[in-house]
Amino acid sequence: MCRTEAKPLPLIETARANADGGAVVYAVTSSGQARTTPEHSHARGQMLAAMSGVLVIATEQQHLVVPSGYAIWLPPFHRHALRTSHLFNGWSAYLSDSAALPVETQVFPVSGLLRESVLRAASWSVSDHLSPAQERILAVIVDETAGLPQRDFVLAMPTDRRLLKVASALLETPGDPRSMQEWATWAGIAPRSMTRHFLDETGMSFSDWRQRARLMLALELLAAGTAVTAIALELGYDSLSAFIAMFKRHFGVPPSQFSPENT
């Protein structure tokens, strides 16, 4: 698949607060162009949401996709890199450490209450202190972030250099038809060892991992407006019906749910 080189997009910071009882920075980003950001981390936890398009996050141990209508929570000092699709529009909120917030990275659906609370906070003028009303809105944001259900848009990455070589290649071309035995030979590892280590390091069999990698790329292609039939062919499915059935089994909804006209 050919990917257009992304241009960096500056972050637009619209409101800042530095209160002792709950330091928080809010920001909103919006762009019609793709954006890439190299690996970095923040002293505060970061929540990024996609209102349209797709956000892709890479950490040391995970590959995560955030489709439209969803957000990702990244704990403080959690190193990550990101890229967005060219149709991406979204927002982010930086929250100080709190016992109520998740301690691990997670992807979750954005409730209407969370979205409106963050966008309201983004309209605040720059200030060193939060008013009582603003503190209540901050509490809503924290509660919603802590309480929303997780979704399975996460792909664990292996740590063994040979397995990581295979995983990285499959993320680039998930439709590659080579068998597990062929991939093992290519990476210089015995098939039996590859099977065992893949399960130990990712919690998934090689075939299940590859299946999830394909479906997560499908989310990106759907957001870009690629036809479902073309996606099924590119990702190596035998038929359109097989792709749709697998997509629904994994995500609980048909692929059309993530097409631009439905986001």
Give the residue with greater pLDDT, 148 vs 64.
64
pLDDT band at 126 (very low <50, low <70, confident <90, very high): low
Look at residue 71 in the predicted model and tell me its pLDDT: 93
Among candidates 115, 87, 108, 1, which has minimal Cα distance to 261? Answer: 87
- Residue 185 CB-density burial (10 A; 0-12 exposed, 13-18 middle, 19+ buried): middle
CA angle 79, 83, 85 (to 5 degrees): 155
Angstrom distance (rounded) from CA 110 to CA 92 = 12
In this model, does residue 157 exceed pLDDT 80?
A: yes
pLDDT at 213 over 80: yes
pLDDT digits (tens, 9 = 90+) for 85-99: 877 888 888 887 666
Give span(s): CATH 2.60.120.10, the chain: 15-147
- Please give the structure tokens belonging to residue 216: 């997560």
Average pLDDT over residues 80-109: 83
The residues of the chain that CATH labels 1.10.10.60 are 158-262
- 129, 19 Cβ separation under 8 angstroms: yes
The predicted structure's pLDDT at residue 28: 60
Name which residue leads in pLDDT, 70 or 33.
70
Residue 22: per-residue pLDDT: 44
pLDDT at 255 over 70: yes
What would you report as the CA-atom Rg of the chain, rounded to the nearest whole angstrom? 20
Measured CA distances, 61 to 72, 168, 202, 211, 259 (Å): 15, 12, 9, 18, 28
**pLDDT above 90 coverage of the chain, percent:** 44
pTM of the model as a whole: 0.79
Q: Quick check: 154 and 57 in contact, CB under 8 A?
A: no
CATH domain 15-147 topology: Jelly Rolls (2.60.120)
> Considering Cα of 100, then 18, then 106, then 156, what sign does the dihedral take?
negative
Give residue 153's pLDDT. 87
Query: For the segment 8-45, what is each residue's pLDDT rounded down to a tens digit?
Result: 333 333 444 443 334 465 666 666 677 888 999 888 88
Fold of 158-262: Arc Repressor Mutant, subunit A (1.10.10)
Q: Tell me the mean pLDDT in the region 110-132.
A: 83
